[in-house]
Structure 1
Amino acid sequence: MEKGLLVDLGRKYWSLKELKNLILLLQEHKLTHLQLHLNENEGFALNFTDSLVSKSYSYSEIKELRAFAKQHEITLIPDFDSPGHMSHLLKSKPEFALPDTNQQAVDVTNQAAIDWLLKIIDEIIDFFPDSKIFHIGGDEFIDFHQIENYPYLLEKARQKYGSEARGLEYYYEYINQLARHLSQKGKRVRIWNDGFLRKDKQSLIPLTKEVEVCYWTNWEKGMADVKEWLSAGYSLINFCDNDLYYVLGEQAGYSYPTAKKLENEGNIQKFSGQQWLNKNEMKSVRGTYFSIWADEPNAKSVSEILDELPKILPIFTKIYGEK
């Protein structure tokens, strides 16, 4: 099973040396994967032009990082989050923003906007040609349980899919289109769980089975439970936010994980919201990930994070299995 770590590079810059030190830590503590979260509303971590742009990575830097990761047996996963979390990139393409979202989300009804994103994805693939897994995000696109606040999206869905459309159909089809595109390029595609198979809002368009689901939260009652995903036939990856989220600034109600807390509360069969799977159900789980999110990027330095991880990662490895 995979034992991975996600690092938020969209909001906090890590130097190439610091990322290499992180890879060494992962290898030392028998983790297998490093997921690079490349974009947020505040920034985008890659520099496609290879010009001198501060706090982004050139092709040559990523090539060096890829070689280093391979040398130390760590698999890199590029993570490009859309159609939400897109404010930074939409600054150059405001015409592609979905109305009623304060230019934070892409208009999934606009094929030109989707083609623009597919081009970005292809450029990311060029940066990570050997990565077999690609995470396309899909989380926090809109306030899912208040679809009436997005009349443009709802009306567009009903125009195309009929009066019974719930407003999510274009969103589902968008994810399906990205998944098809990446699957045709030989990639395994991953998404976050919160927007799909919801109890409160169903889509007339089904979600493709080509995606693997990173289950990070169950904080809102409309979200599908873990076992609903299993019953629907999807593979899962556990990103349990209750135990495995290291959120800088302790934003959104999170507190920093500690070795003691993880020792007392962590369990390989436990998912967000105190959901538990039995050993047979765990056969559909590909792995577990620890996440470093930069909600308040200056709350801690990278050096402080790297100093704290050796206290936590041995417990993570102990609970979630060795390589």
Structure 2
Amino acid sequence: MKVVRRTFVVVAAFLLLLATPVGVASATAPNPPPQVIPSLTNWSGGQGTVTLSTRTRILVQPRAVRVHQDALEFARELEERTGHRPRVVRGLAAARPGDLVLEVDPQRHDLGGEGYDLHIDDVVHVTGATPTGVFYGTRTILQVLATTDALPRGRTIDVPTYPERGVGVCACYIHVSMAWFERLMRDMAYLKLNQLWIEAKVKSDRYPGTVFWGYYTKDEVRRLSALARKYHITLVPEINSPGHIDPYLENYPELQLVDRYGNRQPSRLDITKPEAFDFLTGLIDEALEVWDTPYWHMGADEYMLGSAYEDYPHILEYAREKFGPDATPQDAFVDFINRVNAHVKSKGKTLRIWNDGLAGENTIPLDPDIVVEHWDGRSHILRPSQLLEAGHRVMNSSYALYLVRGGFQTDTRQLYETDWTPLRFENETLTARHPDLTGAKITMWPDNGRGHTENEVEVQAFMPLRHLALTTWGGPKPTDSYDEFVALAEAIGHAPGWENIDRQPLPAGTYAFVDVTPKGARDVPPGGDRLAPLAAEPGAAAGFVAGSSATWDLLPTSDGYYRLRSTGTDVCLTIEEGRRYLNVPLEAGAPFTLIECSTAASQKTQRWQLVPGPGGAVRLVNAVSQLPVTRGEADVAVQMPPDERTPALFTAVPLD
């Protein structure tokens, strides 16, 4: 896969060279702007190039702690690009030709919080008003060095048009792996994307009834927060409420909304109950103990999905009792949002919501300091211009930018060819940039959680991410055609370090998977042979069978996983048992079984990750449920959250 991409990079770079005019005076013509994504907002070309060498150093200010940390990582990234790792030196005075100087100058107000001044001459200077600006200047250098061995002399003062350049990931219900999030953040930083919305459940200590798989432990959330800080990304966490809150309400029926017929709605919180508000804010408070963020997103979308307020007459009664006889059910909804806003403001956070619940039927106003993310363009929903006029900051989160597992995929070609910008919403195109239009984001949803694997989602997101980076940073289109834009994106590739993880560490072949989990491992049932191989029979649960000679054919898949076929049969290890959410079997303790092998999209649960462990051993993790094989009762192989029971550790013994 890497060889194919490198070949494509060479071909793409050659095509770009052919497109560059060549004349007799080329030796004295100013250098054209380097082709990077996002493109530079301006460029003044010099003549000639600067080559980094073994003598190149990175110089930083003595007390610039954050820039020094970034410089150490930048040096490692440059080694991947050039083969040389520059030494990082504190102090700027002794710069010599070929050095890189990284400098923060708070007086450079023209650069804002994220812009940078990149001056490529005998010494390469990167100046920002903040460490983030300096960091983004280094991303431009890395992109240039992805397609050429030298830096073109010249200068750019490159400042983004929009302050929010975002990506959204709904890790709601399902668990998206930490490794996937790190690769995403690394690539986001490479493209100067700066905001990551994550809808994810924090494993709660206060509300144990909300705990089932799909959650993130508090330590995992702390790791996500640390990664975001490393890559200069702002996190926006969400607990969706008061609709789509079924991941939390399953064991709290007394808080569920009840319709006129007495039917409980497990996905809707009863906004008329004080204890429902207390429950939600309690979850928020616990989550904010570990999320490092200036924001809180409460969702507020699709509360009345598939029905209407008329089915819940007590909401109208509640609204009129609280706000008078002219009140509407939407007043109760807006009031609930405003009360959540007051609560998160008391925690020093800014509230964000989706736009679709705002139909303008409320008599009390929505607090104007709430940021509204506009995705729904139905005619009865307030338009972006109306939200801006009401004093809200508004983000373009259009449905056209969605990526849905097993469903809708954004048409990046169409967006590029029609010159899409964040001014174009689903139901309105603004005629000019409004100061409260914050930017745009693409959003990834798991509506059919087994429709695509994580690796497939990465491939699908490659061009949308690059297009969004281009349009939100605000530079000119770097190519006339979309095909040329794809060629440029492939030539620049991913961020350094993105491909360092070998996702298929073992070659195809036949193996015995022998359990070598250490004795005394946490919560593993006692008894059984610790060296028992993993074995199974068609129609029965897989297990750890002492003395078994069972073997497995390890079959690599095109998206970077494996299928495990029981040798001599046509059945493969899978997880199909237990309760499902978004079509994904997520029940803890469900057994792994064998079914007929298939490469069909509906059988993504047959795909496995081999996660390296100590001593060359591996763990088997299902690619869809993201749960590992674990030894259960009676030595049955089951899936269990790794923080609740130690995953089985296997030695893969090759047999051919």
Q: TM-score, normalised by structure 1?
A: 0.88
- Which residue of 225, 246, 256 corresponds with 1:87? 246
**Max Rg structure:** 2
How big is each residue's C-alpha offset from its partner over 1:231-288, in whole Å with a ceiling of 9 and x where there is no partner? 21211011011x20111222xxxx3124313312422210112x111224x2111121
How far apart in 1 are the matches of 2:241 and 2:311? Answer: 20
Equivalent position to 1:155, from 317, 321, 329: 317
Counterpart amino acid of 2:186?
L
Counterpart Cα distance in 1 of 2:224 and 2:318: 43
| Inter-partner Cα distance in structure 2 for 1:124 and 1:216 | 25
CA offset at residue 156 of structure 1? 2.2
Residue in structure 1 matched with residue 414 of structure 2 by the alignment? 261
The letter for the 2-side match of 1:55 is G
Match of residue 256, structure 2, among 64, 83, 97: 97
Map of 1:106 onto structure 2: 269
Partner amino acid, structure 2, of 1:12: I
Structure 1 runs of 4+ aligned residues shifted over 4 Å read 50-54
Alignment partner of 1:222 is 2:383: no
Q: Is the 8 A contact 1:80 1:135 kept in 2?
A: yes
3-state secondary structure, aligned to 2:240: strand
1:283 aligns with 2:283: no
In structure 1, the partner of 2:223 is 64
Q: Which moved more, 1:65-74 or 1:172-181?
A: 65-74
- Judging by fraction of residues, say which structure has more strand: 2
Q: In the alignment, does 2:190 pair up with 1:28? A: yes
Structure 1 unaligned residues grouped into runs of 5+ = 39-44
Of 390, 393, 400, the match for 1:235: 393
User: Is 105-114 or 153-162 further displaced after alignment?
Assistant: 153-162
Q: Secondary structure at the match of 2:266?
A: coil
Tell me whether 1:185 sits opposite 2:185 in the alignment: no
Kindly provide the amino acid, as one letter, of the partner of residue 232 in structure 2. E
Q: Name the SS of the counterpart of 1:85 in structure 2.
A: coil
Classify 1:58/1:290 alpha carbon distance in 2 versus 1 (closer, same or farther; 3 Å). same
Aligned residues of 2:249 and 2:267 also touching (Cα < 8 A): yes
3-state SS in 2 of match to 1:155 = helix
Does residue 309 (structure 1) correspond to residue 461 (structure 2)? The answer is yes
Question: Cα distance, 1:69 vs. partner?
Answer: 1.6
**Is the CA contact (8 Å cut-off) linking 1:214 and 1:239 kept in structure 2?**
yes
| One-letter amino acid matched to 1:96 | L
Amino acid at match of 1:47: K
Say which of 272, 278, 282 aligns to 2:426: 272
| 1:134 paired residue number | 296
AA of the residue aligned to 1:46? V
1:178 alignment partner AA? V
User: Secondary structure of the equivalent of 1:297?
Assistant: coil
The whole-number CA distance in structure 2 between the counterparts of 1:247 and 1:308 is 10
User: Which deviates more from structure 2 when the two are superposed, residues 99-108 or residues 7-16?
Assistant: 99-108
Tell me which residue corresponds to 2:168.
6
C-alpha displacement of 1:55: 3.4
The CA distance in 1 between the partners of 2:462 and 2:331, in whole Å, is: 44
Q: Which moved more, 1:312-321 or 1:177-186?
A: 312-321
Moved more, 264-273 or 103-112: 264-273
Which of 243, 248, 251 in structure 1 is aligned with 2:405? 248
Counterpart position of 2:180 = 18
Name the SS for the 1:283 alignment partner.
coil
The reply on whether 1:122 has 2:278 as its aligned counterpart is: no
Deviation at 1:116, TM superposition (A): 1.0
Pair 232,55 (structure 1): closer, same or farther in 2 beyond 3 Å:
closer
1:86-129: CA deviation from partner (whole Å, max 9, x where unpaired): 1221112110111126222111111111011110000110121x
**Whole-angstrom distance in 2 between the partners of 1:231 and 1:104:** 32
The alignment of Structure 1 onto Structure 2 pairs a total of residues equal to: 305
Residue type at the aligned position of 2:443: S
**What corresponds to 1:46 in structure 2?**
202
Q: Is the 1:25–1:310 contact (alpha carbons within 8 Å) kept by the matching residues of 2?
A: no
Please report the TM-score for the alignment, with normalisation by the length of structure 2: 0.45
User: In proportion to residue count, which structure has more helix?
Assistant: 1
Over 3 Å counting, the alpha-carbon distance change for 1:53 and 1:229 in structure 2 is closer
Deviation of 1:213 after TM superposition, in Å, equals 0.7
Superposed CA RMSD in Å reads 2.2
Contact 1:4 1:34 in 2 (8 A): yes
In the alignment, the residues of structure 1 paired with residue 341 and residue 194 of structure 2 have an alpha-carbon distance, to the nearest angstrom, of: 24
CA offsets per residue over residues 24-58 of structure 1, 9 Å max, x none?
111122210110012xxxxxx32124999743211
Query: Which position in structure 1 is the counterpart of 2:91?
Result: none
What percentage of aligned pairs have identical amino acids?
A: 27
Q: Which has the higher contact order (CA 8 A, sep 6+)?
A: 1
Contact 2:441 2:468 in 1 (8 A): no
Residue 80 of structure 1: CA displacement? 1.4
Q: CA deviation digits over 1:170-222, x for unaligned, max 9?
A: 211111111011111111111111112x24xx223221122111111112x22
Residue type of the partner of 1:67?
A: A
Partner amino acid for 1:27?
A
- Counterpart CA distance in 1 for 2:248 and 2:240 is 11
Q: Of 362, 366, 385, which residue of structure 2 is paired with 1:203?
A: 362
Seen in structure 2, the aligned counterparts of structure 1 residues 300 and 145 have a Cα distance that, compared at 3 Å, is closer
Farther-moved stretch of structure 1 (306-315 vs 137-146)? 137-146
Q: Name the counterpart of 1:41.
A: none
Structure 2 residues not aligned, in runs of 5+: 1-162, 476-656
Q: Provide the C-alpha distance between the structure 2 equivalents of 1:162 and 1:144, rounded to a whole number of angstroms.
A: 28
Q: Could you tell me whether the CA contact under 8 Å between 1:99 and 1:152 is conserved in 2?
A: no
Distance 2:385 2:306 in 1: 20
SS of residue in 1 equivalent to 2:435: helix
Contact 1:4 1:288 in 2 (8 A): yes
User: CA contact under 8 A between 1:11 and 1:295: conserved in structure 2?
Assistant: no
Mapped partners of 1:145, 1:309: distance in 2: 33
Deviation at 1:322, TM superposition (A): 5.8
